[in-house]
Structure 1
Amino acid sequence: MTERMVDSGTSENDGRGGGKPEGPPPAPATPVAEPRAAAQPAPAAPRAEPTAAPRPEPQPAPAVDASFEARASRFTAALPEALRRIPFTASVVVVTLVVGVVARTVWTPIWREAWFHQVAYGLPGLREGKIWTLLTGWFFYLTPGQYLSGLIMFAIIVGACEMRLGTRAVAVAAVAGEIGGILLASLLVWALSATSWPWAVALTQVRDVGFTTGALTVLAVTTAALRSPWRLRVRAALWFYVTVAFLFEGTLSDVAHAIAVVIGVLVGQRLFGVEPGFGPRTRRETRMLAFGGLIALGLTELVVLLFPGRGPFGSVAGLAGPTADVVIDLVIIAVVANALRVGKKWAWWLTVLYGLLNIGAAALALVAIFTGNLPTGAPLLLGSALLWLGEIGLLVFNRGAFRVPLRRRVPGGVAAAEGDSMARARALLMAVGGSTMSWMTTWPEMRYYFMADGRGYVGYERHAGVALALSDPVVPDGTIADAVAEFTRRAEQGGLTPCLFSVTDAAADAARTAGWRTVQIAEDTIIDLAGLAFKGKKWQDVRSALNKAKRESITFRMTTLAEEPFAVLAQVRAISEQWVGEKGLPEMGFTLGGVDEALDPAVKVGLAIDNTGSIHGVASWLPVYAEGGQVRGWTLDVMRRRDDGFRSVMEFMIASACLSFQQTGAEFVSLSGAPLARSEQSGEELDRTDRLLDKLGASLEPFYGFRSLHAFKAKFAPRYEPIHLAFRDEADLPRIGVALTRAYLPDATPRQLLAAGLSARGEQADAGVR
C-alpha cells in the first residue's frame, strides 16, 4: 500500500520510485495480446426417446451451477444496499477512476506527465506555494499497477471501516489523516534535513501522490471500535507494517503512514474506544503477540536481506556481512519461538538476553557511524535493533505471562523435569483424591513439592519470596498435618515464606494445630446431585431459563473441548477474549483458569448452542477425584457468555450440566468460591485481616464482579463450605499480599504491586503489628 515516491530532480532513483527524467519519455512498446476465443458452452445432447430396450438415463446436471447462480443473484441484489452504506468510499473510488481515465494516468505513469509537479504533494510543492497539492494528489497513483492495487485496498479497508463507524467519522478521519499526515511528514523531513542526514535531505526533493495515508488513518481509528482479540491483532499488524516500511524503505509516504497511524490510534481510542488500554488483555494474547512478533522479526530480516531497499540508515544492497547475523537470528528464533508461545520462562530469558545483545551491537555500530566509520551491515543492524527493542518491551512489560518453569521444586526438595512432575502430580491426585480445587494444581504455572514418602505433593506458586500453596495438600487421608509440617520446613530451608491458600477446614485445622493463623477468604458453593429435580419455588429462575432456552432452540452439549473442530474452538476463544477485554484490569490467573486450561482432555466443557451453530455460552468443569481414581464431582471454572446472546445462558448451562453429571453418577458439583467474596456475617465482628480482605474484594468488584458472582450462585440453593487462608503470623501478611497480587494479576505493573504492598502494610500498622 505504500506509494512509491518520485524525485523532483532530473534522474530516476534506484528503482523504488521513478524520478522524472529529462526530456520526453521514450514511447513504450505496445504489447500485442493474442486474441482468445470465448469459451462457448457445449450443446446439450438430445435426450433419446424411450424404446423397448432399456437405456441409461443421462446424468442430471450438477447442483453447483444452481448454487453458484443463487449466490450470484443474492450478491447482485445486496450490492446496491452495500454501496448505499459506503457512499464516501464509493465516491472516492469512482472519482479517482474518472480522473485517471481523463488524465490517461490509468495506463501511463503520472511522473512522465509534464503537469505532474502541479498535482503531486511533498515539501517541494509546499515551498513553491502549491498548497492545493495536498488535495489534488489524492486522486492519482504513480503507476498503472498502483491504480489497481491502491483502489482495491482503499475500497476494502475504508469500505469496511465506513460500515463500522459511519460515513461522517470515516470521511473526517480520511481527509484529516491524509492532509495532516503528509503535512507533518513534510515538515518533519524539512526539520531533519538541517542535520545533513542524507535520507532526510533526499526526501526534501520528493513528490508523491495517492490516498493511502488517509486509508491507514481510517483503519487506525477504527481499531478502537473492535473487540478483543481483533483490536490488538489489527493494531499489531498495522504498527508492524508501518515500522518495517519506515525502517527499511523510508519513503515520504512511509513517514506519513507512521505519523497517521500513531495519531489515529490515540484519537480513535479517545473517541470510539470500546475497551480500555492499548496492550494485550490475556496471557494467550500476550504470548501469541510475542510469538508472532518474533517470527515476523526473523522473516523481515530475511526478506530485507534478499530484497534490499534504502531506508533512513542507508541501503543494505550488496552487503554480505549481515548474512551470518540473520542466519543466527533465525536459528535462535526457531529454538525459542514455540516455547515463548506456551509461556516458558527460559524462552523469555533467552529472548530478552539475545535481544539485548542485538541492541548492544547496534549501539556500537551507531557509535562507529558518528565517528565516521560505517560498519558493514549497519543499516540492517540498526533497523533490526529497533524491532528487537519493541519485542523486548512487550516481553518485559508483560513478563507475568511467561511463568511456566523448566523445573519445579521447593528449595531443598527434589527437582523434576516439567513433564515428569506434572504427570506424577496427576497420577498422585487420581490415586489419593483431592478437594474441589485440587485439579488447579495441575495447571502449567504450578511448581510441586513431593512428599519424602512419595505418597503425595503440595502444588504451589512462588512469588515475592512466598511459597503460595494452592488448595489442600494432595496426600492420603490423615496425613495433611504431616504434609503441612514437611512443606513448611522445606520452604523455610529455601528462604521462602510458606502460605496455604484456598484450603478446606481439614487443612486449616492442621495449620492452626501447628500454631498458624487462618482467615476465611471465600465459600465453596456445593450442589448435591442426589435427588436434584429443580422443583419448587426456589428453583423458579432455573426452570424459567431451561424453558426459555427450549423456546429459543438453544441446546446444551457436554463435550471435550480439545476434540471439537476449529470452528467451535474459535468461537469459544472469541467469547472468552471479548469478556476479558471488557475488564478494566488484566486477566486474572492462579485459581481462575481460561480456555487453555479448558483444553485439557480431562476437563469437561458445556456449550450452549443455537440452531445455526452459534455458541452463546461456555462453561468448563474440572474433575474432583476420590481415592482410587473415581471422579466423584466436578468444579466450575471458566464461565463466559456472548454479549448479544441468550440472556439466561448461565443459569441454563449450570442447570443442564447438573442434570448431565447426575446421569453419570457424580455426587456433587462445585460452583467454586468467588475470590474475596462470602456470605454476610450478621452479628459477627470481623478482625483486621478480615476487613483488609473485605476492602480488597470491594475494590475489585467493579472490575471482576466477584461478589455479584457469589450472589448469582445463590440461585442454585447450594450448601456452603468455608475456604481459608493460612499463614504463620501477621508479619507475613504484606509479603503474602504482594504474592497473591502477582499470582492473580501476573501482568500487573510494579506500580500496582507497590500500591498493594503499601495498602497491606497500612492495614497491618492499624492493627498494631510491629
Structure 2
Amino acid sequence: MSDQTLALGRTTGLESTAFTFSERVGYLKRFGAHSQSFSTLQPGMQYFDVPGKGYLAYMRKWGATIVLSDPVCAPENFGELLERFQERFHNAAYVQVSKPVVDYLHARFGLYGTQFGSESRIDLGKWSLRGKKKQILRTALNQAEKNGITVQERFSDDHTREISEAWIRTRKCKSNEIRFLIRPMEMDYRENERHFYAYQNGKAVGFIYFDPIYRNNEIISYVPNISRANADFKQGIFYTLMAHAMAAFKAEGIPYLDLGLIPLSLDATTEHQESRLLKQTLHGLYNRGSFIYNFKGLEFTKSRFRGDNFKTYCCHKRRIPALEFLAMFKLTQLL
C-alpha cells in the first residue's frame, strides 16, 4: 500500500495501516525522547505512520505542511521516516527538530536547517538551589513563603480555567492560548501528566502542567508545557512551582528536567546549512517583536535555572519560508 493511499484511507474509509491510538502511545513511550513528543498527541494533529518504525506528526494550513518535533521512532530510523514523508510531501517544513534531522534533510533533500531557538535540560542529580546564580530563585521562594504561598501536586483541576483566562488577558495575544508549538491545556490524552498548584489562603493562584518525556518505556524527564499564574503574582510563582516540582522529580529518581522551547534564542554564528537571511530576520523579530510575544522575558526566566542549552531548528525549502511561517503562526493562534 502506498503512502498516498495510507493518507487517503484516514478520510475515505479505505483500509489502511494507520496506527490505532494505543499503538501510537506505545511508540511515544518507546521513542518519545524529544521535549515535544508528548505534544504530537494534541488535538488536530495528522499522522504519517510507518508500521514497525514510528510516526511523524504534522498540521496543514494554506497548503503548507508543517511537521512538529523529531520523528517518534528510534534515531536510526529517522532517515527512513523522513525519506517516505518527503516522497509524500515534497514541500514540507519542519519545526523544533534536532541536528540529526537537520543533517539528514539537508544532505538528502537540500533543505535549509536554520536555528529556530534553544532548549535547556537540567541534570536533576546535580540540581540544587545553592550558588550566587540561583539567588533569584531563592528570593522567589522566600517571597512566596512570606506571602503564605504553598505548593501541592494535584491530579484534578483546581480553578484551572479561571486562572488561565485571567492569565491570557495579560498576554500580548489576548484572544487565545498558543497551540501547536505548545500543546493546548486541554487534551484527551493525559497519561502521566503532572500538575503542581500554588495556593494562597486555600485558593489556587497558579499552576504548571508537566508532560513526560520517554525512552524505552521509562520516564526520563518532564517538561513544563503549560504554566499560568494569577495576574496579581507576576513574579515568583513560576520559580516557586518549578523548584517544588524539581525537588519532587529528583526524589523520585527522574534523571532530568527539560525546560522546552526558548523561541528565537539564537547563536550568533551561522552554520553552513542555515539560511543567513532567515536567521537575520529571526534575530530582528527577537529584538523588535515584543508586541507579538515576550521572547526576551521567556529566555531570561528559563536562563535562571542554569541548564545545559542546545539548539533546535526549523527545516525549510526556501531561504525565506514566508508562507510556512505565516501558516505556523496561524496554527499557533498568534495571528
TM range (shorter): 0.7 to 0.9
Q: Which of 107, 120, 128 is equivalent to 1:513?
A: 107
The residue matched to 1:413 in structure 2 has which SS? helix
Residue 463 of structure 1 pairs with residue 61 of structure 2: yes
The structure whose residues are more often strand, as a share, is: 2
Q: How does 1:199-598 map to 2 (within 5 A)?
A: 411-414=4-7, 415-416=9-10, 421-451=20-50, 453-492=51-90, 497-514=91-108, 515-560=110-155, 563-564=156-157, 568=158, 571-585=159-173, 586-587=175-176, 588-597=178-187
Q: Residues 411 and 491 of structure 1 are in contact (CA less than 8 Å); yes or no, is this contact kept in structure 2?
A: no
Q: Residues 31 and 215 of structure 2 are in contact (CA less than 8 Å); yes or no, is this contact kept in structure 1?
A: yes
Of all paired residues, the percent bearing the same amino acid is 21
- Residue 660 and residue 592 in structure 1: after superposition, are their counterparts in 2 closer, same or farther (change >3 A)? same
Amino acid at match of 1:475: C
Please state how far the C-alpha of 1:424 moved relative to its aligned partner.
2.8
The one-character-per-residue Cα deviations of 1:357-394 (angstroms, maximum 9, x if unpaired) are xxxxxxxxxxxxxxxxxxxxxxxxxxxxxxxxxxxxxx
What is the rounded CA distance, in whole Å, between the counterparts of 1:714 and 1:693 in structure 2?
Answer: 20
Please state how far the C-alpha of 1:450 moved relative to its aligned partner.
0.2
What is the rounded CA distance, in whole Å, between the counterparts of 2:33 and 2:131 in structure 1?
Answer: 33
- Gaps in structure 2 of 5+ consecutive residues: none
What is the rounded CA distance, in whole Å, between the counterparts of 2:21 and 2:181 in structure 1?
Answer: 17
Q: How does 1:102-251 map to 2 (within 5 A)?
A: none
Q: How does 1:665-744 map to 2 (within 5 A)?
A: 665-675=253-263, 677-679=264-266, 681=268, 687-730=276-319, 733-744=321-332
TM-score, normalised relative to structure 1: 0.40
What is the rounded CA distance, in whole Å, between the counterparts of 2:328 and 2:278 in structure 1?
Answer: 14
The residue matched to 1:640 in structure 2 has which SS? strand
The residue matched to 1:479 in structure 2 has which SS? helix
Q: Which of 221, 232, 241 is equivalent to 1:633?
A: 221
Please state how far the C-alpha of 1:508 moved relative to its aligned partner.
1.4
- Residue 473 and residue 607 in structure 1: after superposition, are their counterparts in 2 closer, same or farther (change >3 A)? same
Structure 2 equivalent of residue 649 of structure 1? 237
Q: Greater Rg, structure 1 or structure 2? A: 1
What is the rounded CA distance, in whole Å, between the counterparts of 2:75 and 2:276 in structure 1?
Answer: 32
- Residue 485 and residue 558 in structure 1: after superposition, are their counterparts in 2 closer, same or farther (change >3 A)? same
Q: Which of 660, 685, 693 is equivalent to 2:248?
A: 660
The residue matched to 1:723 in structure 2 has which SS? strand
What is the rounded CA distance, in whole Å, between the counterparts of 1:599 and 1:650 in structure 2?
Answer: 24
- Residue 642 and residue 410 in structure 1: after superposition, are their counterparts in 2 closer, same or farther (change >3 A)? farther
Q: Residues 46 and 58 of structure 2 are in contact (CA less than 8 Å); yes or no, is this contact kept in structure 1?
A: yes
Higher relative contact order (CA 8 A, sep 6+): 2
Structure 1 equivalent of residue 193 of structure 2? 603
What is the rounded CA distance, in whole Å, between the counterparts of 2:245 and 2:223 in structure 1?
Answer: 11
- Gaps in structure 1 of 5+ consecutive residues: 1-408, 749-770
What is the rounded CA distance, in whole Å, between the counterparts of 1:523 and 1:638 in structure 2?
Answer: 18
The residue matched to 1:435 in structure 2 has which SS? coil
The residue matched to 1:678 in structure 2 has which SS? coil
Q: Residues 113 and 275 of structure 2 are in contact (CA less than 8 Å); yes or no, is this contact kept in structure 1?
A: no
Q: Residues 471 and 500 of structure 1 are in contact (CA less than 8 Å); yes or no, is this contact kept in structure 2?
A: yes
TM-score, normalised relative to structure 2: 0.87
Q: How many corresponding residue pairs?
A: 323
The structure whose residues are more often helix, as a share, is: 1
- Residue 614 and residue 480 in structure 1: after superposition, are their counterparts in 2 closer, same or farther (change >3 A)? same
- Residue 726 and residue 679 in structure 1: after superposition, are their counterparts in 2 closer, same or farther (change >3 A)? closer
- Residue 443 and residue 708 in structure 1: after superposition, are their counterparts in 2 closer, same or farther (change >3 A)? same
Please state how far the C-alpha of 1:707 moved relative to its aligned partner.
2.1
Q: CA RMSD in A?
A: 2.7
Please state how far the C-alpha of 1:738 moved relative to its aligned partner.
2.5
The one-character-per-residue Cα deviations of 1:185-231 (angstroms, maximum 9, x if unpaired) are xxxxxxxxxxxxxxxxxxxxxxxxxxxxxxxxxxxxxxxxxxxxxxx
What is the rounded CA distance, in whole Å, between the counterparts of 1:541 and 1:598 in structure 2?
Answer: 36
Please state how far the C-alpha of 1:498 moved relative to its aligned partner.
1.1
Q: Residues 115 and 266 of structure 2 are in contact (CA less than 8 Å); yes or no, is this contact kept in structure 1?
A: no
